[in-house]
Each structure stands twice: as structure tokens, then as C-alpha cells.
Amino acid sequence: MRPRHIASPLARRHVTGNRPPPEFPVLPLDTTSAPVPERGHGATLRTLAPYLWPKGERGLRIRVVVALALMLVAKGANVLVPIAYARAVDALTPKQGAVALVAVPIALVLGYGLLRVLSSWFAELRDAVFVRVQARAARTIARQVFHHLHALSLRFHLDRQTGGLSRVIERGTKGINFVLDFMLFSIIPTLIEVLMVAVILWGMFDWSFAVVTLVTIGLYIAFTLMFTDWRLRFRRQMNEMDQDANTKAVDSLLNYETVKYFGNEAHEERRYDASQARYESAYIRSEVTLNWLNMGQSAIIAIGLTVVMLMAAYGVQAGRMSVGDFVLVNTYLIQLYLPLNFLGFVYRELKQGLVDMEAMFTLMREEREVADAPGAVVLPPGPGALEFQDIRFGYRPDRTILKGVSVSVPPGRTLAIVGPTGAGKSTISRLLFRFYDAQSGHIRIDGHDIRDITQDSLRAAIGVVPQDTVLFNDTIRYNIAYGRPGASDAEVEEAARLAQVHDFVLRLPDGYDTRVGERGLKLSGGEKQRVAIARTILKNPRILILDEATSALDTRTEQDIQAALRGVSAGRTTLVIAHRLSTVVEADEIIVLAEGRIAEQGSHAALMAADGLYAQMWRRQSEAVAAAEAAAAAQEAARATGAAP
């Protein structure tokens, strides 16, 4: 079978020579860090099978049946080609003098040509009919894996490398296409053809021709599979080094600015080249052993072909066989050899395809740490009352972060959460959003435990403006509309006005169609924050989380953003997680976390009057701000007088 992936003559030459065509990428192994349970290839194929016979897809099922029928017809026509050729040779062989022109077997020659055309046409029709089934299976599985990845917990994604994870999906879908192409319409049809040829040779001549043919093909297949299994260790080394190089390249490019900050371009290049050097070594060993494999295959086929030809020659000499029969057995063995010539490549990549598919299916079997409870209901409309009751949680069993936190937030009020780094401030917002589930205690929205409601409806009710705003590499319009896909342009622009970013956008050459770059790097910190605020306004949540939303901004920008945030939080239940205490002065209530517990609670005035931990933090920050302002003023004065700062 001609692989659908292969287009160029060079690629076909590589395949015939048992080498992978240039279009095929090196397929690295699974990259998930956790050990996965070993499953046989049969289990992987059983997992794939339902997608090839999809429920409720009558049209696709018909295509499967038609494709299998066309495969059998194509193989039937293919095995008849040598017979028509042999009979034409017999008819053209002189018996009593030269062959007359009228004796030319026109019907046999035309039949030979017709059979070759039909064999090729039916094979192409088979591919054309089945390609929709194949593409639908790959698309369906990829969509399900993508959906499942989004359903997995934050812990899972923090433990994985995004570059490697995306490669698992990419390789898995390619593995599906490869397995279906070569197993269903290359390996299995070739084995069927071998059996058909053996039966024909036995019926037309005697059992010895069938036995020699089967033994030759059997030795060829056994040698190829055993040698290829031995070579797989070099392929695995290539895969691991390719995976390592790819991960280093992705990490380095994603952290482009950090690399530049520290001038570590040469260091990154050395790390990348070290992985490529190890890949180079494994690649050379793989290619050399491939040459040995090709030499062994050629020897087996040559020996088997010679034996069959000798048997046929003796048969012709003894008068039991004709010259056409001599040609027939030679043609059959060569015809069988051609599709088997790249068996080593197909077998190796078939196994790799199955491994890649299993890696993707393993992702689908990954258990959800946070899942909807059976019978979970949609969160009904409500004012947004929020309650944390005796919350205990730790990211690891040996380190508890929250140790019995209890607090209530009435509808429309603002609760500020402050405290030293590592006290658990952001952990509270992650638990509310159900990125994790608390080990004990309850979180309720309008009286409903968040474990009893669906995650979709829970997250629809909560809006977040994070400290590190990450935007998609798309337009400003797309990033704002992400808060509510399908929103009209007028609604997007109104949200931008409320976030005080509309005028800035209009000053840009492309306006709302301006692309923001990778992670929004073309915008300043304040501009990105305003886009994030507009996105949250468009979502229109009943509960708002401001997670260190202004901590990375300068004082002037912070004041502008704070004004926008006050407009967003008006009338909404709001959690403000802050490091700068100046941003929480207006909060209705403030809790101070220390070592996982609420150390103090009250309004800004009450906490200052108590002269406790909050008051100490306030004085330290005030002194730091005053010192920074004094230093800036002194520097400005020095510049004004021309003195050295």
C-alpha cells in the first residue's frame, strides 16, 4: 500500500528502502512524569476499536464495511495480475516457429492491464472511503483528551511540562492515523495476500512451492521483527533526547525575557546542543543498524527467490511447467516482497504509534482530583453570600497551610485577606474556585456547599483579576471577549470603558484588533491589568476575587487600577488578597492570616487601634514607602541642582 502520508518520490524511495520518510517526525515517548500502568498493545487497540465503529454514526459504519470490501477486491485483483501476465507469456512463447501477429493474446494483455488498474483504483477508493472514519476517530479522541486535560486539577498541570504534554496529544493523534493506515490497510492485507498466493501456488503446482514461499516470507518477517525489536533501544534513546531538547527549547523561548535579563543565551544554547549531541549519537547507531537490517532482508529474499526459481526451472525442463509458470512464481515472490520491504520501518513505527496512543489514552484515564459529586446541581441565582467554615488544607500531607479558617462575607461586602508570604492567602481563592478541595471544612455560596454544585456553575459565578495577568496571543477584542465568548462588540467596548482601557485602545493603530503578543507582552503591566478587569466585567460574576491585582504596579498606575476595581466590585461580594495594605483600607472587613490561622480580624480602624500584627505590618510598609519617597525626592533635588545623586 502507498502510505497516504508520503507524497514525494524521495519519500517513496525511503519507504521502499525500509527507511522512515523525511515527512515522518521522530516520535518521542510518553512524557508524563508519573509512572503509568503497563498495558499490552491489544488493550490499546481495544480502546481504539469503538471509535472505528461509532455509535449512532450509521454513515461512518457503512464506510467501514465498504472500505473492507474494497480492500478484499483490490487484493483479489492484485493476485490475479501475475496469472494474466504468465498466460500472456505462454501465448507469446514460440512452439513451432515464430508467433504470428494475429496470435498475439490481446485479451490477456488487456486483462493484465485492467487488473493492475483495478487493483490500484480499488486501493485508492478504499482509502478515500475510509479517510473520513480515520479523521473522525482522531478528531474525537483528541477533543476528548483536550476536554479531560481541562477537567484535571491544577496540581496535575503544575507537575507537568506544557511542551511535553502538548506533544503527547500531537503524537497520539498521529499514532492513530499511522496505525489505521498501516495495520488495517497494509499489514493485514499483505498477510491475506500471502495466504492467497500460497493457496494459488499449491493449487496450480504442488505443495513445495507454497511451503518455500511461506517459509521465505516467515523467515523474512521473523528476522525483521526480532532485529527491529533489538534496534528499538536506539530509537528510544533518540526519542528521549528529542523530548529533552524540545522541552529545553520550549522552556527557553517561553522565558525569553529571563534569558535576556541574565545574559544566558550561550548557556541555553549549550544545554540545547548537549541534548542534540546525544540525539546525534543515537541517530547514527540507529541508521547503521538499519543498514544491517536491510542487508539481512535482501539476503533472505534473494535466497528464497533463487530456490523457487530453481524449482520452477526444473519443472519447465521436465515439462510439468511452462515458461509462463516460471515467470508466475518469480512475479508472485517479488510482488510479496515489495510491501514487506519496509516492514521493519512499519513495525517499528507501528509499535511507536501504539505507545503514543497508549500515552494519550493514559491521560484520559488520569483520575480527576476534583470532580463533580454524583447528583451535583447547578448553583441557583443568589446575592453572593460567602462562608468559610473551619477550612483545613495542605498541598502536601506533611505541610498544612490552612488550619481551621472560618469567616463569612455578607452579600455585596468586601473582605480583605492579608498576611506574610506563605500564610495561605492565595490558597483560599484556589479552594473557592475548586482548583483543590479542602481536607476538611466547608465553603458555601448562598448556603450551598461548593462540593454539591457543578464546577461549571461555580466558576461562572466567580470572577478573578490575578496578580500575573496572562493574555492570549490574539487581539485585545478577543482577550476582553474571553470573559463571555459571543459578546457583541458594543458589550466588549462598554466593558473596556468601565475598566478605563477604551481610550487607550482607540489610540492604538489597529484599535481593538491590536494583537497583544505572547502572554500579552506587547502591553504594559497596567494595560494588561485593565484588559483583565474588562474581561471580568464582561463575565459579570456575583463574586469577585482580586488576587494581588496591583502589587506589581507603580503607585500611579496602582491608583488608576484601584479606581477601576472599585467600580467593578461595587455591589459584588469581593475577596481582596493583598500584600500592600494601602489597597485594603476601604474593605468592610480585614482578616490577617499568620501560620495558617486568622490572627486578627476587623476593619482597618479597629485593627490599627488594636496595635497588633496588622498595625506592625502597616508601620513597616509606611516606613518603606516614606523611605522610597524621600530617596526619590533627594534624587530629583540633586538632578535639579546639578549635583551627583
Query: Band of the pLDDT at 104, cuts 50, 70, 90?
Result: low
Least confident of 163-172, 217-226, 293-302, 572-581: 163-172
Whole-number pLDDT of residue 590: 92
- Does 633 or 399 have the greater pLDDT score? 399
* 79 vs 518, residue with greater confidence: 79
In 422-542, DSSP assigns E strands to 440-445, 448-449, 462-465
User: For 324-333, 429-438, 451-460, 628-637, which range has the lowest pLDDT when averaged over its residues?
Assistant: 628-637
Residue 30 has pLDDT above 50, yes or no: no
Give every CB contact of residue 374 below 8 A, 6+ residues apart in sequence.
none
Q: What is the mean pLDDT of residues 342-355?
A: 75
pLDDT one-digit tens code per residue, 38-54: 566 777 777 787 877 87
pLDDT the model gives residue 498: 83
At residue 77 the predicted structure's pLDDT band, cuts being 50, 70 and 90, is: confident
Among 469, 366, 474, 387, smallest CA distance to 431 is for 387
CA-CA-CA-CA torsion sign (471, 472, 477, 480): negative
393-461+541-615: CATH number: 3.40.50.300
210 pLDDT tier (thresholds 50, 70, 90): confident
Q: Which residue has the cell 525500509?
A: 18
Report pLDDT for 531: 87
Pick from 487, 497, 432, 439: nearest CA to 463: 432
pLDDT tens-digit map of 111-138: 888 888 888 888 889 888 888 888 888 8
> Using one digit for the tens of pLDDT, what is the confidence trace for 232-284?
778 777 877 887 888 888 888 878 878 887 888 888 888 888 888 888 888 88
* Average pLDDT rounded to a whole number, residues 449-468: 87
Residue scoring higher pLDDT (97 or 568): 568
532 three-class SS: helix
Q: Is the pLDDT of residue 389 over 90?
A: yes
Structure confidence at residue 555 (pLDDT): 63
> What DSSP string runs through 109-132?
HHHHHHHHHHHHHHHHHHHHHHHH
Q: Is the pLDDT of residue 358 over 90?
A: no
Q: What's the confidence (pLDDT) of residue 164?
A: 59
Instruction: Indicate whether 443 pLDDT > 90.
Output: yes
The arithmetic mean of pLDDT across residues 162-180, rounded, is 74
How far is it, in rounded angstroms, from Cα 546 to Cα 429? 9
Query: Exposed (0-12), middle (13-18) or buried (19+): which is 291, by Cβ within 10 Å?
Result: exposed
Domain covering 49-365: architecture? Up-down Bundle (1.20)
Give residue 364's pLDDT band: very low, low, confident or very high (50, 70, 90).
confident
CB contact at 8 A, 369 and 152 = yes
Q: What is the pLDDT of residues 286-325, one digit of tens each?
A: 888 888 888 888 888 888 888 888 888 888 887 787 888 8
Overall average pLDDT of the 3-29 stretch: 35
Give the lowest-confidence range in 104-108, 247-251, 308-312, 433-437: 104-108
Instruction: Tally the C-alpha atoms within 13 A of residue 58's C-alpha that lie toward its C-beta.
Output: 0
Q: Most confidently modeled of 106-110, 283-287, 474-478, 634-638?
A: 474-478
Average pLDDT, the chain: 79
Rounded to two decimals, the pTM is: 0.61
Domain boundaries, the chain: 49-365, 393-461+541-615, 470-532
Confidence of residue 354 (pLDDT cuts 50, 70, 90): confident
Measure the CA–CA gap between 565 and 493, rounded to whole angstroms. Answer: 17
**Is 22 exposed, middle or buried, given 0-12, 13-18 or 19+ CB atoms closer than 10 A?**
exposed
* For range 139-166, the mean pLDDT: 71
Instruction: For residues 157-167, give the mean pLDDT.
Output: 62
Q: How confident is the model at residue 20 (pLDDT cuts 50, 70, 90)?
A: very low
Q: What integer is the mean pLDDT of 183-190? A: 76
Q: Say what the pLDDT of residue 100 is.
A: 46
- The model's pLDDT over 586-619, given as tens digits with 9 standing for 90+, comes to 888 999 998 888 999 999 999 999 988 889 988 8
* Cα gap 123→125, rounded to integer Å: 5
Residue 379: is it exposed, middle or buried by C-beta count within 10 angstroms (0-12/13-18/19+)? Answer: buried
Residue 462: φ, ψ to 5°? -120, 135
Place of cell 529474499: 301
pLDDT at 24: 31
Angle at 49 between CA 48 and CA 54, to 5 degrees: 105
**Is 484 within 8 Å of 539 (Cβ atoms)?**
yes
Please tell me the least confidently modeled range out of 40-54, 160-174, 409-423, 494-508. Answer: 160-174
Quick: pLDDT tens for 551-560.
Answer: 555 566 666 6
pLDDT at residue 412 tops 70: yes
Collapsing DSSP to helix, strand or coil, 390 comes out as: strand
DSSP label of 263? T
CA distances from 189 to 63, 70, 75, 195 (A): 18, 11, 7, 10
